[in-house]
Amino acid sequence: MQVPARYRSSPVAVPASAGFTLIELLVVLAILGLLIGLVAPPVMKYLGRAKSDVARVDIRNIETALDLFRLDAGRYPTQQEGLRALVEKPPGLERWQGPYVKQNRLPTDPWEHPYRYRIPGEHGAYDLYSLGADDAPGGTGENQDIANW
């Protein structure tokens, strides 16, 4: 059986100038590198600020949980009980109605460090804070401490 001529594929001649030269590809890569170099630092700055904002919201949520604990127990968790009292019933506390946080586990800050709780607080009834990305007191930017005071 013979294929009619109109259905036969004929070789297409490709001109020698088709495609990109190595120089053209290098120029495009250099331009992309410059664009990434200009755009990446501001994006990383916003990402760091977003983590700090998440820590502030987490602290507000934990404060709400501590207030609910206080309404039920008549006091805030002791230093020994710590924030764990929000998810597990402390021994001898009959009026505990928890858990007081949704996840049934203690939240960690955006840098995967535990939130710090101190009672009595130096700035109020209790102090609740994160030490930031470096997990050390003080700092600036992402390393700045985030607290409830």
Q: What is the mean pLDDT of each run of 10 residues along the chain (149 residues)?
A: 65 67 90 85 72 92 94 94 93 89 86 94 94 88 88
Domain 23-147 has CATH 3.40.50.880: no
Q: For 10-33, b where at least 16 C-beta lie within 10 A, e where not — what string?
A: eeeeeeeeeeeeeeeeeeeeeeee
Can you give the residue ranges of every domain in the chain? 23-147
Residue 11: predicted pLDDT: 65
* Residue 25 amino acid letter: L
pTM of the predicted structure, to 2 decimals: 0.67
